[in-house]
Amino acid sequence: MKQELQQKFYDEFPGWFDNLQFGFEVNDGWFNLLWNLCVELKKTGFGLSEEGASQVKEKFGSLRFYIYGGTDEQWKLIDEAEEASYTICEQCGKPSEIRKVDGWFYNMCDTCYKEYLENQRKLFEKYSKKV
């Protein structure tokens, strides 16, 4: 995620993301999904004590949001957001689906998927030229 988008989370939810070793390991398309999750978590009192996120990342084409502690209600909100991520393009935020490419899972809409394939084709051509 772009640094300026990450900064919005640090500003609005102080202390929540101080322990993220690698920052937000997702792309910009999930910004709104994460923002809405954090707003809902805040309503439950999350972040008022020692709680915080330990990792925010993509895995197998879906969101993973790991926290320290948490109540059943908070974990339910996280589960719902993770489930919703299966249908949101991680690149642009449009409706999407999970796609398996070269052994990796990507969550992309049709447009982003076509762009990805075109970029892969260009890389292949660049590095497979005979000398």
pLDDT confidence of residue 49: 73
pLDDT in tens, 40-53: 999 999 988 777 99
Q: pTM of the full predicted structure?
A: 0.89
pLDDT in tens, 87-117: 999 999 999 999 998 788 989 999 999 999 9
Q: Where are the domains of the chain?
A: 3-127
Residues 24, 79 contacting (CB under 8 angstroms): no
Residues 6+ apart with CB under 8 A from 27: 1, 58, 90, 91
- pLDDT at residue 131 is higher than 80: no
pLDDT in tens, 12-49: 999 999 999 889 999 999 999 999 999 999 999 998 87
Closest CA to 90 of 33, 12, 49: 33
